[in-house]
A = this chain, B = another copy of it.
Amino acid sequence: MTAKPAKPSVQSAAEAAMRADKAVVIGLNAAIVTVSESAPKILVVPHDEADGTGGWDALPFGPFNPLQHRTLEIGLRSWVQEQTQLELGYVEQLYTFGDRGRHSLEIEAPGEHVVSVGYLALTRSHDETLKGAAWRDWYQHFPWEDWRDGKPPIIEQAIVPLLREWVSRQAEATPDELSRGKRRDRMRLCFGVDGVDWDDEKALERYELLYSAGLLQEAARDGRPNALALTEKNVPPLGRPMQFDHRRILATAMSRLRAKIKYRPVAFELMPPAFTLYELQKTVEALLGLHVHKQNFRRLVENAGLVERTGRMSTRTGGRPAEQFRFRREVLNERPAPGLKLAPSRSRANS
């Protein structure tokens, strides 16, 4: 085990990378999220191409210029600021995708390749019209993810039957019990079939399952074999598709945010300076796509020291006025700053 032998291979590999055939362009994609009127909204820019994907939303994206920006995040903030005038609060890197064939190819010049880095950004609700961009309820892209009014009908009416067909199609191809079970298990775990509970954090897994089952328009666009068969059968679109792999990035953002909200106080990035506990709850429920138990939610938020009273009351319609609270920034300097560990309320979520 001498030091020398490894060096040539590793180093020369790195040097070989310098050549143009391995050069890629970094695309920075931002899933910019806000919540207003109990709906999580995602910032989209319109996209029109003659290739059949016209009208599909795209996430705002821009290239990373390494000469201009020291880090990827700085690069992202810079062009988002420039293009949207939004001030981003929380920003988090999600994932870097390098897949060939997961976005329409016309953007790639021959011999060049785009690697896309996805970011999640949160911003406080704000109604100004952004030039050319729009806020879209993210459940338009993921209608199966919103369980606030009970199980979304699209699951039993469309998704489960189509997936069952996909499961049995594999059964024909590979008749061994084991690998058929795999597809069935994936379906069960993702969509909560056969008594498995719904897991709000599996948004990405569900998207990927639907994609690989060929049930999404993106899969058809990418020419996935499964998808072609279904296109012929006139399967209705499952949610609004998005350009490139942007719906996948959005799914990643949803999963990450739904997980993060439970152990870090990120929900407050979406709230105004003062808010009632019920407003906070509505925001959280919007993101999770679930209802939570109101009294326990209060207890949790107050016991964790996440908020403090302002003394002011909210002039609301309806019943008794609610007190307004503010985020206790100090928690960030106390213990590892907790989030909103909450369990879905059985009473309404599973109706």
Q: Measuring CB to CB, which residues of chain A are less than 8 angstroms from any residue of chain B?
A: 1-7, 9-10, 13-14, 16-18, 20-27, 45-48, 58, 60-67, 70-72, 75, 79, 83, 93, 95-101, 107, 109, 111-115, 117, 129-134, 185, 188-189, 196-197, 199, 201-202, 333, 335-336
Q: Would B83 and A22 count as touching, CB distance under 8 A?
A: no
Q: Which residues on B sit within 8 Å (CB–CB) of A100?
A: 66, 70-71
Contact A45 B10 (CB under 8 A): yes
Identical copies in the complex: 2
Q: A18–B112 contact, CB under 8 A?
A: yes
* Chain B residue at minimum C-beta to C-beta distance from A199: B336
CA distance A2 to B129 in the complex (A): 10
In the bound complex, how far is the Cα of B24 from the Cα of A75, in angstroms? 14
- Complex CA distance for A20 and B63, rounded to whole angstroms: 12
Give the docked Cα–Cα distance between A63 and B16 (Å). Answer: 8
Cβ contact within 8 Å between A63 and B93: no
- With A14-B62, A96-B72, A197-B335 as contacts: A48 and B3 at CB distance below 8 Å: yes
Contact call A1/B132, Cβ cutoff below 8 A: yes
Contact B10 A64 (CB under 8 A): no
In the complex where A25-B17, A66-B22 touch, is A83 in contact with B7 (Cβ < 8 A)?
no
Contacts of A45 in B (CB 8 A): 6-7, 10
Evaluate contact between A61 and B115: CB separation under 8 angstroms: no
